[in-house]
Amino acid sequence: MARLQAIGIIPARYGSTRLPGKPLALIAGQPLVWHVVERARAAKRLSRVLVATDDERILEAVRRRGGEAVLTSPDHLSGTDRVAEAARGCDADIILNVQGDEPLLEVDAIDRLVALFDDDPELPLATLRRPAEAADMGNANVVKVVCDARGRALYFSRAGIPHRRGDAAAGRWAHIGVYAYRREALFAFAALPPAPLEREEGLEQLRAIEAGWRIQVEAATGTFLGVDTPEDLERARQILERPQQAN
């Protein structure tokens, strides 16, 4: 069976509620969004990487560095809606929504996520998880996911799920903001109205859960850091600027 063709689209919105201008925040001399572009470009399974943004400043910052970027509507309610607009002019079997705030994104995880679709023609959507740390469970900025025994998502929440009562040893997982969509599934998702649970938690993946979609969740290893707050940004700087300081 021929391998499916995949591209990565990075949604980058300027007006972040918790960290305005986040995509352009400098880390080791480069904008945050550019670190994500470079990580995604290193993936073997992505034939193309582009940034979808609502802001000319982000567009120019990416293009100045030799990247590809397109302007999209400022009215999108979620990153995937923005990705869907950008993807309509792209020819690919699989579209990855690579969140623009993951500067430590593990390249191998991207390739393994795409590979899930090679042998499963019915899979509409897949994403990533990592083991949750104790501090993650009470942090609403870290999204938690609960899966069944086959790795299919049961629910995503900002709350500390599953609640630990006694000595149970159920796995605790944090969600990583990368989604892989089969092309037709991406456009079907974007056509769905925002769902009550999505609005309640502020999590777009719950739109798919409420619609009864299967979401396969691949376990990832390595260091991941979603930059949502000034504290996250400072931690990312400490990690990514450390090699430069050592030279």
Q: What CATH number does the domain containing 231 carry?
A: 3.90.550.10
- Say if 133 falls within a structural domain: no
Task: List Cβ neighbours of 229 (8 Å cut-off, separation of 6 or more).
Answer: 18, 19, 141
- How does residue 168 score in pLDDT terms, banded at 50, 70 and 90? low
pLDDT score of 246 more than 50: no
For residue 57 the two structure tokens come to: 């400043």
For the chain, give percent helix, strand, coil, nearest 5.
Answer: 35, 25, 40
pLDDT score of 61 more than 70: yes
Which has more confidence, 101 or 8? 8
Could you tell me the pTM of the whole model? Answer: 0.91
229, 19 in Cβ contact below 8 A? yes
- Say if 212 falls within a structural domain: yes
pLDDT score of 169 more than 80: no
Phi-psi region of 90 (alpha: psi -120 to 50; beta: other; left: phi over 0): beta
For residue 226 the two structure tokens come to: 């979603």
- Say if 115 falls within a structural domain: yes
The rounded mean pLDDT for the chain is 91
- Say if 68 falls within a structural domain: yes
Number of compact structural domains in the chain: 1
Q: Which domain holds residue 219?
A: 6-128+175-196+206-242
- Say if 146 falls within a structural domain: no
12, 101 in Cβ contact below 8 A? no
- Say if 238 falls within a structural domain: yes
- Say if 93 falls within a structural domain: yes
